Amino acid sequence: METTLCIIKPDAVKNGFEDKINEKIISSGLKIIKTKKTFLTEEIARNFYKEHASKPFFNELVEFIISGEVVVQVLEGESAIKSYRSLMGATNPDEAEEGTLRKLFAESLSKNAVHGSDSSESAAREIAIMDKIF
């Protein structure tokens, strides 16, 4: 069994998509083993996204993720990291496949509804950062 970190981002929470997203996660075979609806602090957000610190969109990214409530979740399942990434679809909703979370629920590249860990190293790091909020 593998675990991965999922965040339902402020755009999707504001748009009322939390339950629909979780239905899709559960019907894909993944189990939600931890969940917390909360506001992230700027400190957690900057640490969480630190691999993007040198990117021109870093400040926008941090401002957005702390701009509203998010739902932070740990998902568990067989190949959970890959399986959840394929359920999410491409980062940019314009490129996301039909039926994926980002195709269905995202507004734009920055307001892209959900986050998911991209590797086992990221999953371990991201779950450790978020562990204190559960």
| Shorter beta-carbon distance to ligand CMP: residue 73 or 112 | 112
Binding mask 33-52 for ligand CMP (x = CB under 6 A): -------------------x
**What are the backbone dihedrals phi and psi of residue 115, each rounded to the nearest 5 degrees, phi first?**
-120, 150
Angle (CA) 105 97 70, round 5° = 30
Interaction of residue 122 with ligand CMP, rule CB under 6 A:
no
Tell me which of 3, 73, 100, 112 binds ligand CMP, using CB under 6 A.
112
Tell me which of 38, 57, 97, 128 binds ligand CMP, using CB under 6 A.
57
Closest CA to 5 of 56, 61, 53, 49: 49
Interaction of residue 109 with ligand CMP, rule CB under 6 A:
yes
In angstroms, give the least distance from the CB of 80 to ligand CMP. Answer: 16
Q: Fill in the DSSP letter of residue 29.
A: T
Q: Are 25 and 6 in contact (CB under 8 A)?
A: yes
Stretch that binds ligand CMP, among 17-25, 57-65, 71-79, 124-132 (CB under 6 A): 57-65
Measure the CA–CA gap between 81 and 18, rounded to whole angstroms: 20
Measure the CA–CA gap between 75 and 22, rounded to whole angstroms: 10
Active site residues: 115
Residues at the contact surface with ligand CMP, assessed by CB under 6 A: 52, 57, 60-61, 91, 109-110, 112, 115
